[in-house]
Structure 1
Amino acid sequence: MQRAAAPSSVYHAYDASPAPEPPVRGRLWRVLGWVSIVLSVALVGTSLTAYGFWRRLDGQIDRENVEGRLGDDRPEKLNNSLNILLMGSDSRKGENARYGSEAGQRSDTTILLHISPGGESAIGISFPRDSMVPMPPCKKKDGTTVPAQFGMINVAFSNGGPACTWRTIESLTKIHIDHYVEVDFAGFKRVVDALDGVEICVPRRIDDPKAELHLKAGRQVVRGEQALGYVRTRYVLGDGSDLDRIKRQQAFMGSVVKKATDKGMLTDPGRTYEFLSAVAKSIKADDKLTLSVMQKLAGSLRGMSAGKVRFVTVPVQAYPQDTNRVQFNQALAGPLFRAVREDNKLPEPAPPTPVAAQNKVQPVPPEQVRVAIYNATGTPGLAQRTADQLTERGFKVVKVGTSTKRYARTQILYGVGAERQAARMAIALPGHEPRPGKSAKPGYVYLVIGKDGAALRGPNAAVPKVAGEIRADRDICANS
């Protein structure tokens, strides 16, 4: 492939090498971790955001320092979104002893909660516990190391606690995680009871003594043990698979979100404090999830509603070696992870298309545009990510480089005979009118990314629709 020469009189010197790549439980817990977002959403609508109120809640949260066990090869944080890893512990210690005597502790459920920059929307991604995945080496609290291995994803928790699950999810998705929240059986019941119950819908009467579950058919509100039995049971509802149970638990989470964001609750300070206090007493988190972080999160979620919350499951397929296990469907999971990873703040309304693109020249199709992309920001990997996005839109990226000089503004420059190609680039990248480059190679376009970024028209990476996804505002009896 022919390489475009860098117009040195414009750009000074460029590194000839490509721009650096970005570094590459209890069975109900898809429900439990969700309370972290609900906590913040509820706070927004009340008058209880006084410092003293926050301090009381903050003092009720059990925290753990995990930073030293996450490794040095973590994914780069690409935007201002917030990613919280939600885990459910199946510990039988303390209040949970009545649910059996299983040894050890696992996270039979793992959810990655992604809150878009500015609190525009949220998505909870469930990772089936039966997923067969590679796990990186993990450090335990005592300093010993568990070697890398291949196995079920929930084994990571027993290998090295929340930090190991955190490290495993980051290695699988390349998404930078900011915090974790862990909940257990007893905590789940406290939260549901503080909400005065959560609405569910079942297709037929259920009597399951093992799960202590006795339900009538249809729409109803469950509390405490009944709610716990509903999200734990596996064989009296659905087809008995973990994937089917995930769908039911995601619907339950939607009901939790609807109930917690209900106006009646948000305008009742007593009910709100009771709920948030139950949440705080029921979770364990990393010590970086501080009071100031929670306050910032609450502010960013102002205006969040149930209709802006989605629940999806990582796309999976059968694991050939064991029919009782699954593996990620990379063709579908990859775009989902990438969209979350690159979820940039929605751009401001696009300015008018430059005059050159409107009147003076007729833009050519993207496949006729040969473009060299240079990173002039100092942010590693930005040129390559932009190149990947433009390639997906049909542009012919011929070079990716790094500028030794920093620029405040992004520039679109073009060589002789490439005016129509530059006009097409200006349509894809609004707000940057093309201009000739004195040393630009004939027929080529040069995109120099400055500190103001390179936001392509429309969201850079809209989180794709996922089969079977559930919105929090849907009718709980839909498809029951």
Structure 2
Amino acid sequence: MNSNPMYMEYVDDADPEEPAPPRRGWRILGWVCIGLSAVMVVGSLTAYGLYRQAFGNIAHEDVNAKLGPDRPEKLNEAMNILLLGSDTREGENAKYGRQMKDEPPRSDTMILLHLSPGGEQAMAISFPRDLMVQRPECEDREGNTVPGSNRVQINTAFTVGGATCVIKTLEALTDIRVDHFVQVDFAGFKNITKAVGGVPVCLNENVNDPKSGLRLSKGKHEIEGEQALAYVRARYTLGDGTDTSRIKRQQKFLGALASKVMSRGVLTNPKALLQLLNATTKSLTTDSELSVTAMMDIAQGMQGLSSGKLRFVTVPHGQDPLDKNRLALAPGADEFFESVREDKKPPEAEKKPEGKPEAPAPTIPPNQIRVRVFNGSGTDGQAGRVADSLEAQGFQVTVGGNAERTTATKVLYGSGAENQAKSLAALIPSKPAPAARTGGAEPGVVDLVIGTDWTDLKGGQRGIPEQQGEIRASDNICSET
């Protein structure tokens, strides 16, 4: 075998504790996807016609018909993009692992990029390939139905049915609606690192890894192409030799890549931006609905994103109780998924009207206010979620059921509850004017009718709580992971 890394068979070293050869090195493909997504969400692509040709390089796949109508409901204006890395050996990828050219493509990279409403944050959620899950029934690549399985590694979904099966599996696992997917092949990684002029990394010691071809001295470096590929795939010569350690290194690498793209003028330099887009888009496949227009809309909606708001986490997990070489979701995973599903758009900054100041709202303590919550939003379960938020702030709450659908949230009240209604209304960003209820009112009770404009109470939890071990794109590249 030629020792030049250009011609190495890019397959990870065998793990003696695992029954099958791992392919975790392919996870870096997902980081390339996030790099592209970072470009899309922070770039001001005003020269639409100029960039349209670059986006025309992207291949598209129609997955909606296969997914069908039985999918999680969207609870907010967040955008969830599934990022997949494919180890296909077609075309330029043939030189990476010639012995696998006839095998079906795999994806050990499954990352859900969650773009919060209002541009407040973006979170890249990595799903380890060894995570044991239930896989639903899927169609294979020939259109045949493959029965579901109660216990499989999550990465088998891509081999069975491509992006569609991965989306089905993740939606069943998380109850989070996936809006789009982006799939990239291995060859695109080198091109994107070259297009940005290298990515900064920091080493605590000299590295000479004959398996990956990585040779770097201690300290800071800017790496690209084959050298960058060797850096992200090396396992035993960097960190503690575990795959978890390598995931952290890859997250820091991608964070450094995104930070450089955001801060060093790549997005405002037409030549550099086109070079980056051309390098990346030639290696991409997306769903049919992720059009140029959709990408532009995402970019316009995420102009406030900075490197400090780009977060990288791994889904909460632990050792699988049935197999020490596999992983299982941790008990806190459901709570984490719920925070992603219900990520709220923060309220608009209030504008103080000119002229006569508003009279201050009554300040009756929440524990002295009885509230019935009615769901007029059309979103299943919304009344219960709002009731939980109210209870967390101390209100006495009951759920009143469904109401006629309404755009605007309403605060109604029975006799003797006007000041209580005003106190509650003051905590709602849209500030609905309380009105006396003409029918069905209970004395002393405030009725809150949730409309489609509902965000959250002031002072309520918004966004996704900080996760253990999370990394931000703004972190110091020399800090310990």
TM-score by length of 2: 0.85
Partner of 1:133: 133
Aligned residues: 447
- Deviation, 1:316, is 1.1
**Tell me, what secondary structure is at the counterpart of 1:129?**
coil
- Deviation, 1:396, is 4.0
**Tell me, what secondary structure is at the counterpart of 1:32?**
helix
Q: Is the 1:198–1:259 contact (alpha carbons within 8 Å) kept by the matching residues of 2?
A: yes
- Deviation, 1:179, is 0.8
Which stretches in structure 2 are left out of the alignment for 5+ residues? 1-23
Q: Distance in 1 between matches of 2:304 and 2:437?
A: 45
**Tell me, what secondary structure is at the counterpart of 2:197?**
coil
Q: Distance in 1 between matches of 2:282 and 2:407?
A: 47
Task: Give a deviation string over 1:97-125, Cα, whole Å, max 9, x none.
Answer: 33323433222121111112232321111
- State whether structure 2 residue 424 is matched by structure 1 residue 425: yes
- Deviation, 1:238, is 2.0
Which deviates further from its counterpart, 103-112 or 427-436? 427-436
Q: Distance in 2 between matches of 1:255 and 1:407?
A: 45
> Cα gap change, 1:349/1:459 in structure 2, threshold over 3 Å: closer, same or farther?
farther
Partner of 2:286: 285
Q: Distance in 2 between matches of 1:411 and 1:460?
A: 21
Q: Is the 1:140–1:146 contact (alpha carbons within 8 Å) kept by the matching residues of 2?
A: yes
> Cα gap change, 1:86/1:407 in structure 2, threshold over 3 Å: closer, same or farther?
closer
Q: Is the 1:30–1:253 contact (alpha carbons within 8 Å) kept by the matching residues of 2?
A: no
**Tell me, what secondary structure is at the counterpart of 1:74?**
coil
Q: Is the 1:81–1:343 contact (alpha carbons within 8 Å) kept by the matching residues of 2?
A: yes
Match of 1:51 among 40, 48, 51: 48
Correspondences of 1:175-186 after superposition (within 5 Å): 175-186=176-187
Q: Distance in 1 between matches of 2:41 and 2:450?
A: 36
Q: Which amino acid aligns with 2:118?
A: G
Q: Which amino acid aligns with 1:162?
A: A
Match of 2:69 among 57, 69, 72: 72
Task: Give a deviation string over 1:346-404, Cα, whole Å, max 9, x none.
Answer: 1123589996853xxx52344x544321123444443233223334444443224112x
Partner of 1:243: 244
- How many percent of aligned residue pairs carry the same amino acid? 46
Partner of 2:19: none
> Cα gap change, 1:409/1:269 in structure 2, threshold over 3 Å: closer, same or farther?
closer
Partner of 2:83: 86
Q: Distance in 2 between matches of 1:303 and 1:378?
A: 30
> Cα gap change, 1:354/1:440 in structure 2, threshold over 3 Å: closer, same or farther?
farther
> Cα gap change, 1:356/1:196 in structure 2, threshold over 3 Å: closer, same or farther?
closer
**Quick one: higher RCO (CA 8 Å, sep 6+), 1 or 2?**
1
Q: Which amino acid aligns with 1:339?
A: S
Q: Is the 1:87–1:110 contact (alpha carbons within 8 Å) kept by the matching residues of 2?
A: yes
Q: Is the 2:55–2:277 contact (alpha carbons within 8 Å) kept by the matching residues of 1?
A: no
> Cα gap change, 1:148/1:394 in structure 2, threshold over 3 Å: closer, same or farther?
farther
Correspondences of 1:212-291 after superposition (within 5 Å): 212-291=213-292
Partner of 2:349: 349
Which deviates further from its counterpart, 261-270 or 171-180? 261-270
Q: Is the 2:376–2:405 contact (alpha carbons within 8 Å) kept by the matching residues of 1?
A: yes
Q: Is the 2:262–2:307 contact (alpha carbons within 8 Å) kept by the matching residues of 1?
A: yes
**Tell me, what secondary structure is at the counterpart of 2:474?**
coil
Name the Cα RMSD after superposition.
2.5
Q: Is the 2:366–2:396 contact (alpha carbons within 8 Å) kept by the matching residues of 1?
A: no
Which stretches in structure 1 are left out of the alignment for 5+ residues? 1-24
Partner of 2:106: 106
Q: Distance in 1 between matches of 2:419 and 2:268?
A: 57
- Deviation, 1:40, is 1.7
Q: Distance in 2 between matches of 1:421 and 1:165?
A: 49
TM-score by length of 1: 0.86
Q: Which amino acid aligns with 2:259?
A: K
Partner of 2:17: none
Task: Give a deviation string over 1:50-109, Cα, whole Å, max 9, x none.
Answer: 233232112211111111222321111222221111111122333223332343322212
Partner of 2:12: none
- State whether structure 2 residue 57 is matched by structure 1 residue 60: yes
> Cα gap change, 1:35/1:402 in structure 2, threshold over 3 Å: closer, same or farther?
same
Q: Is the 1:36–1:181 contact (alpha carbons within 8 Å) kept by the matching residues of 2?
A: no
**Tell me, what secondary structure is at the counterpart of 1:264?**
coil
**Tell me, what secondary structure is at the counterpart of 2:251?**
helix
